[in-house]
Chain A
Amino acid sequence: MIELEDVWKVFGKDENAILAQARSAEPDPAALERLGAVIGVGGASLTVKRGELVCLMGLSGSGKSTLVRLVNRLLEPSAGRVRIGGKDILALGRKALRDLRSHRIGMVFQSHALLSHLSVRDNVALPLEIRGVARTTREDTADEMLVRVGLDGLGDRRVSALSGGMQQRVGLARALAANPDILLMDEPFSALDPLIRYDLQTQFRALSRELGKTTLFVTHDVDEAFRIADRVVLMRAGRIVQTGTPATLLAAPADDYVRRFVEHARPLAASRHEATTIRAIA
Chain B
Amino acid sequence: MTDIQSRDVAIDRFIGSNSTYYRAAFHKIGAQRGYAPSFNMAAAIFGPVWLGGRRLWAAFWPFLIAELLAVVLIAFALSGGAGADRAARADRLEGLAAVRLQEATTANETDATSSLAKALTRSAAALGDAARQAREEAGAANAQTSLIVTLGLALFLAVRLTTGALGNQLAERRFRAWRLGGEKVEGGFSRLHAAGVALLLGILIPTIAFHFADRELFRAFPSNPAWNSASAVWLDGVVSAISGTVAPVANGMTNGINAVLTLTEAVLTQTPWPVVMIIIVAVAWQLAGFRVFLLTAVAISYLAILGYWEKSMQTVALLGTAALVSIAIGIPLGILCGYKRRVAGVVRPLLDFMQTMPAFVYLIPVIALFGIGKPSGVIATIIFGIPPVVRLTALGITSVPASVREAAIAFGASRRFILFKVDLRTAAPSIMAGVSQTILMCLSMVVIAALIGAKGLGEDVLHALQYAAQGQGLLAGLAILLCAIVLDRIVQGRGTTARD
A: which residues have CB within 8 A of B? Answer: 72, 74, 97-103, 105-107, 109, 111-118, 126-127, 129-131, 174, 178, 184
Contact = CB atoms under 8 A, between A and B. Distances in A.
Interface string B400-444: 010110111111111001000110011010000000000000000
6 contacts: A74-B409, A106-B411, A117-B425, A126-B408, A126-B411, A130-B408
A127 B410 CA distance: 9
Contacts of B409: 74, 101
Contacts of A130: 408, 411-414, 417
A65 to B, nearest CB: 11
Contacts of A184: 410
Nearest to B413: A130
A43 B412 CA distance: 27
Interface in B268-294: none
Nearest to B415: A94
Contact of A100 (B408, B412, B422): B412
Given A74-B410, A101-B410, A107-B410, 9 more contacts: A109-B407, A113-B401, A113-B406, A115-B426, A117-B425, A117-B428, A130-B411, A131-B412, A178-B411
Contacts of A112: 403
A100 B410 CA distance: 10
B426 A116 contact: yes
Contacts of B407: 107, 109, 113-114
Contact of B403 (A72, A113, A127): A113
Contacts of B404: 113-115
B499 to A, nearest CB: 13
Contacts of B422: 115
Contacts of B410: 72, 74, 101, 105, 107, 184
Contacts of A111: 401, 403
Contacts of B401: 111, 113
B411 A102 contact: yes
Contact of B414 (A98, A105, A127): A98
Considering residues B406, B411, B428, which has the most beta carbons from chain A within 10 angstroms of its beta carbon?
Answer: B411
Which of A98, A114, A184 counts the most B-chain CB atoms under 10 A from its CB?
Answer: A98
A130 to B, nearest CB: 5
A103 B411 CA distance: 8
A103 B421 CA distance: 19
Nearest to B410: A107
A99 B412 contact: yes
B412 A109 contact: no
Contact of A109 (B406, B417, B426, B428): B406
Which 9 pairs across A and B sit closest by C-beta, in order of nearness?
A: A102-B412, A101-B412, A113-B407, A113-B403, A127-B411, A107-B410, A98-B412, A111-B403, A130-B413
A229 B421 CA distance: 36
Q: Could you say which of A106, A127, A130 has the most chain B C-beta atoms within 10 Å of its C-beta?
A: A130
A89 to B, nearest CB: 13
A98 B407 CA distance: 13
Nearest to A129: B421
B410 to A, nearest CB: 4
Given A113-B401, A114-B404, A107 B411 contact: yes
A185 to B, nearest CB: 12
Given A109-B403, A113-B404, A115-B404, A127 B426 contact: no
Contact of B406 (A74, A116, A118, A174): A74
A47 to B, nearest CB: 22
Contacts of A114: 404, 407
Contacts of B411: 101-102, 106-107, 126-127, 130, 174, 178
B494 to A, nearest CB: 15
A111 B408 CA distance: 13
B426 to A, nearest CB: 6
Contacts of A101: 409-412
Nearest to B421: A129
B235 to A, nearest CB: 43
Contacts of A115: 404, 422, 425-426
A111 B411 CA distance: 16
Nearest to A131: B412
A129 B401 CA distance: 20
A126 B404 CA distance: 12
Contact of A117 (B408, B413, B417, B426): B426
A232 to B, nearest CB: 24
B412 A127 contact: yes
A131 to B, nearest CB: 7
Contacts of A113: 401, 403-404, 406-407
Nearest to A116: B426
Contacts of A126: 408, 411
Nearest to B409: A74
Interface centre among A99, A109, A184 (most CB of B within 10 A): A109
A114 B428 CA distance: 16
Interface string B338-364: 000000000000000000000000000
A204 B157 CA distance: 76
A109 B421 CA distance: 19
A101 B410 CA distance: 6
A245 B260 CA distance: 73
A102 B414 CA distance: 10
Nearest to B422: A115
A102 B408 CA distance: 10
A97 B404 CA distance: 19
Nearest to A72: B410
Contacts of A129: 421
B460 to A, nearest CB: 43
Contacts of B408: 126, 130
A126 B426 CA distance: 14
A130 B421 CA distance: 10
B432 to A, nearest CB: 12
A178 B410 CA distance: 12
A167 to B, nearest CB: 12
A112 B410 CA distance: 13
Interface in B194-244: none
Nearest to A126: B411
A178 B407 CA distance: 14
A114 B405 CA distance: 10
Contacts of A99: 412
Contacts of A106: 411
